[in-house]
Structure 1
Amino acid sequence: MVSQEAPEPVQCLPLPLTGLNAKDVLGRKHKRRSRQHQRFMARKALLQGQGLLSTPPEPWSSPPPMPKAPPGSSGGGPSPRAPYGRKPTLGSIARPLPSKLVAVDCEMVGTGPHGRVSELARCSVVSYHGDVLYDKYIRPEMPVVDYRTRWSGITRQHMHKAIPFQVAQKEILKLLKGKVVVGHALHNDFRALKYIHPRSHTRDTTYVPSLLSPPGLSSRARVSLKDLALQLLHKKIQVGHCGHSSVEDALTAMELYRLVEERWEQQEASRPQAHPEDREPDSSSNLEQYMEDQYWPEDLVMGSGGGAGQTQD
């Protein structure tokens, strides 16, 4: 009878270091903050110190540690992608993923009789983290009567490299559809794009004062982007006489949204389910309202009151 040898014990090999190295690289990546991000966090901390903002968990922070299974349990447990069996949230409120958030800003020129019809001449789209996704000059469908350069920054030379409106519209809407769109006085931008975006997927920064209600702003229902940037972000925009930059305005709108992101998403989550008719006004509505837009900064309104040289914020 052949004696059976005892099986050799299984030797536990050390785990490969690739996972650890990847984790270290990821940790270093999170530690490398750009100067822009540092300035953003400093401004946010200032507002929190003044009691204007709560202190939510950072959207880029790691999820809470998983509870350890008691000895003798079968392991298992909830998935790391959904701690404690819940969907990923910011605090207790689900929020849009950064990849689903974009900010848009448009600059318009005057066409039609006396240049009072506003048509799209430039559009910029930026990501949640401030990357420029789109920035092009656009040729209006009708001849330009007033470039409104003092406000729009558009000149005749820009039209030499502009693309047709129909082409730009398809490119822009491809970026906006399915996203949560941030901007200031978005009804003007959507009208220029001849587009209707779901109201539940818009974050118009004209509502930021009602979320913060800081001293000096609570009495004004609508505040220009320029004033909000100065008072809440401590930076100057739309300076000089070269007109607005749609990239700068879109970036500023996204910064304002990020300052109040948690509170805003809590408010959105508490809203009742929107009805199908609850949507932005048709972009074909009366364009005279645009020429009387109360979102314009007061210092940009011409003393003569002529509408042909005005533009949106």
Structure 2
Amino acid sequence: MSVSGFSSPWWFLLLAVVAALVAGYVVALRSRRKRIMKFTNLELLERVAPRSQSRLRHVPAALLVVSLLLLIFALAGPTAEQKVPRNRATVMLVIDVSLSMEATDVKPTRLRAAQDAARSFAEGLTPGVNLGLISFAGTATVLAAPTTEREGVVHAIENLKLAQSTATGEGIFAALQAIESFSAVIGGAEGPPPARIVLMTDGKQTVPQDEYAPRGAFTAAGVAKQKGIPITTISFGTSYGSVEIDGTRVPVEVDDASMREIARLSGGDFYKAATAEELKQVYDSLGEQIGYEIKETDASKPWVMLGTITLIGAAVGSLLIGQRLP
């Protein structure tokens, strides 16, 4: 039973009362012993009240004190950190479908490996998280608006199609727009749910070439920062990947530096995955981070149970040993 804090620590003031009771019990025992020693035949007392029985008669009192300590501990409101599923969150999964995703440096292809990992991520995400999907190449397309229904998102992931160019900024801007539209509908009195963008790409932005252009990736990351929506970037692939375009073998090296900068500018995290297994591990880690949160929860119940059981033990012991309740 791990305890991280107390919600009502002032209940510990009752420990002074318990200490006073213990002191009073000791004083009463000594006073009683003095009276017995003064008026009783010691040889007769030893025969009718053996020393072992004399020690046993303190057990109910000791159990009573322990039960009071446990119950006071419970009243103080012990709390513990517990991982609980989120019931309000929005995640936009943004996946690169440019032609470089056809590279086979990740088996069977970058795109197939990305689809498998993204599907597993979607299916394993906790029910309270609204998940949406955007694909981008030369332009960005919202394939699934944020929803707690996973079937539509999984179907869209399975049907991703490759296209030319890489407009990373457009993918981020489309995600921001989707999140804002969704939040406006379900915001309620508590305000919009916390949101995050998960961006997975394998190459450098090509449209526009300047990442600081008005529709560039770095500009979009800055806007995300202003809106309080961090971007988790996943740089997927290897430095030796290549694809064949119009009969020519073209190298498609991953651009870790840009993905790391997008994450930094937006206040998010950067991940590197060079294999299908590494990508799956990244998504598993994200599922834990996004789907759950650590909360301080009440941890008093076990202490109440222990205190109650100990109190019952004190009562039973008193009846068996002293033929009376304490």
TM-score (norm 2): 0.22
Question: Taking CA–CA contacts closer than 8 Å with sequence separation of 6 or more, which of the two structures ends up with the larger relative contact order?
Answer: 2
More strand by share: 2
Max Rg structure: 2
